[in-house]
Amino acid sequence: MSSFGIVVDNLSNTVSENELKEEFSMYGPVKKINMQRKGSDCMATIEFDSDKARQSAIHCMNTRSSKVVLCTSTPLSSAVNCS
């Protein structure tokens, strides 16, 4: 089964995985979330089970201060680390 992932940057370092899951579940089922924190910086990779959910999330999030900076149609475990 394919995975469709996005990377969201510029997150508050106080945001929780559960809060992200709740927020992104409105676009479609969330398969996996991986959060990375470095000092006051926080980013997350979020995997959906459909491209439609991923595209909806990209469209909606790019109208906010948090931006989707990468999207991939491969499983995130196979994606290149862009840090």
Query: Does CATH place domain 4-68 in 3.30.70.330?
Result: yes
Q: Where do runs of H (alpha helix) occur along 1-83?
A: 17-24, 51-61
pLDDT digits (tens, 9 = 90+) for 36-78: 998 888 999 999 999 999 998 888 877 766 555 444 444 444 4
- 82 has a pLDDT exceeding 80: no
Which pLDDT score is estimated for 25? 94
Q: Which tokens sit at 14?
A: 């106080």
| Whole-structure pTM value | 0.71
pLDDT digits (tens, 9 = 90+) for 6-43: 988 888 888 899 999 998 999 999 999 999 998 888 99
Q: Which tokens sit at 55?
A: 């595209």
Closest C-alpha to 49, from 28, 69, 25, 23: 28
Q: How far apart are CA 11 and CA 83, in angstroms?
A: 15
pLDDT classification of 80: cutoffs 50, 70, 90: very low
Query: What are the residue ranges spanned by the domains of the chain?
Result: 4-68
